[in-house]
Amino acid sequence: MDPRSSTSRIDATPPQETWSLRRQFIVPLGATILLVALAVSLITWWAANDAEDRWAADKLSTVFEQLKRASYPLTKNVIDQIKSYSGVDAILVPREGLLPVSTLSAADLSQLEKSGLESLATQGSLSIGDRSYHYRKHNASVDFRDSELRALVLLVHRPRDLGFWHAPVWAPIASGLVSVLAMIIVTTAIGSRMVRRIEGLEAQVKRIALGQYDIAEPKGPEDAIRRLSVSINTMSSQLEKAHDWIARTERSRLITMIAGGMAHELRNALTGASLLVQSCLRSYPEHPPQELIMAENQLQRAADSVRRLLASDPSIELVDEPDMTASTMTQAMQDCVATYARHQQVELVWETDPQLQEVWVPQGAAVTGALVNLLMNAIEAAGRGGHVCCELAAKNLSRDSVHLRNDEVHVDLCWRIIDSGPGPDPSVAHSMMEPFVTSKQEGIGLGLPMAARVAQRCHGSLTWRREGAHTVFELVIPSQARQGSFV
């Protein structure tokens, strides 16, 4: 199924709100800082009030102890002097019928009497006008002995007025608000950068879901988001390969079905033509015409192509071919491609290790066909004025590649087909070993896959690479164990 068929379903999905991630960064941090600021404010307020209460209590206790130990009577002059050095106001409440005496002004004392001087508790706080006081009330008959007084009220003014009283609370709150604002700015900047990166990954995943397997350059520091971007790129590459493989598989299956029927018809026609050419050759037992020999070679090449076409289905087993010596294979390859190389004006060079001439190669005819296909491709790639070299040597000639056991020769034979052409088309370079992959207009893409299949069947390998300005195809085939020697 084409992944692009799901476009409508993907587009129908409602987009996520882009600010949701930012809120996840900002709201928790801002709320936490604000709560901490409020908690610090409350603790500061409680600590300030507690310290003030203890300060007032100590001051009132100190003044009372001085008055209690005094041997002189408490008069207006005495309490005025006490206020002058201690700052503590005093109210002398006399016996019945007499007016109170105080360091307070007459207006303040009158206001206090109206609010209930007689009903004051033992200690606490009170307000006179816009001023606040801590006070302590002492009963003369209990706390000290003075026949002229009924009670003594000591008052100390709070060191802060009502406006300044809120300073311990507002300072942490202001600090918290400033911290919240700074955190919002910093978090917004950091969060926006991270959100943009995540949104970029989201857009890339949507493109992949729509069948667009583009690779995005990972951005940002080496973190989890960058690693996720690399993983998405890897996934995109794998999905693209899988998509191409499925498309090629479906195309190959259809082509194989069509090619199979055509190949059977061609094989019958080629068989008849080959029999006619062989009949003509038998008419010239001593000096057969060169044209008939070339025609027989071309018919043989066509028959090999038809056979590869029939065997393009991987489920079909290749027919066993007879073993051949390396020298016999070289001669067969020269007969097949020498004339074509001269016609294409390509210099064809053969370099064969003389020690390998009589080494036996398994599936010799199949391997020869694979090498002929590689040589034909190389001649076409080199073009007029180019050159092609076919080298035969032992692969990594050492004790691991050549074994002498009971006079049997075991060696990995390596054919290197080197051409001066520009190399394979980059569009098919990574998949040209697969069936029906070719950059030739008239090609069907079966030569290299069949050569690779022959190498695999012989427990060998077929690889290619670029060496400078040359293309090198390397076919490695383990030799067939035969009685003999290898010097």
Contacts of 26 (CB under 8 A, 6+ apart): 183, 184, 187, 188, 191
Give the pLDDT confidence score for residue 167 in this predicted structure: 56
- Crossing angle (nearest 10°) for helices 364-382 and 290-310: 100
* Domain regions of the chain by residue span: 1-212, 319-483
pTM of the full predicted structure?
0.44
Lowest mean per-residue pLDDT among 63-77, 247-261, 391-405: 391-405
More confident residue, 95 or 324: 324
Q: What is the pLDDT of residue 387?
A: 93
Place of tokens 């307020």: 45
> Residue 472: what pLDDT?
93
What's the pLDDT score for residue 3? Answer: 44
Please compute the mean of the pLDDT values over residues 28-48 and round it to a whole number.
Answer: 78
Least confident of 129-138, 158-167, 171-180, 225-234: 158-167
Q: Quick check: helix, strand or coil at residue 402?
A: strand
Mean per-residue pLDDT, 204-212: 86
Backbone torsion region of residue 396, taken as left when φ is above 0, otherwise alpha when ψ lies between -120 and 50, otherwise beta = left
Tell me the residue ranges of DSSP E strands in 373-422.
Answer: 387-394, 402-405, 408-419
pLDDT surpasses 90 at 416: yes
Taking 80 as the threshold, does the pLDDT of residue 165 lie above it? Answer: no
> For position 487, what pLDDT does the model report?
42
How many Å apart are CA 414 and CA 374, to the nearest integer?
Answer: 13
| Mean pLDDT, residues 172-197 | 77
The confidence score (pLDDT) of residue 389 equals: 94
Lowest-pLDDT range, 95-99, 213-217, 299-303, 404-408?
A: 404-408
H or E stretch including 31? helix 20-69
**Which helix (H) or strand (E) covers residue 159, if one does?**
none
Asked whether residue 242 carries a pLDDT value surpassing 80, the answer given is yes
Residues 6+ apart with CB under 8 A from 415: 371, 374, 390, 391, 392, 474, 475, 476, 477
Within 53-130, strands assigned E span 88-94, 101-102, 123-128
> 3-state class of 351 per DSSP?
strand
Domain 319-483: which CATH number of 3.30.470.20, 3.40.640.10, 3.60.21.10, 3.30.565.10: 3.30.565.10
Maximum separation of any 2 CA atoms in the chain, in Å: 168
pLDDT tens per residue across span 69-120: 777 777 888 888 888 888 888 888 887 767 788 888 888 888 888 877 777 8
427: pLDDT strictly greater than 90: no
pLDDT confidence of residue 349: 92
Mean predicted confidence (pLDDT) in 165-183? 69
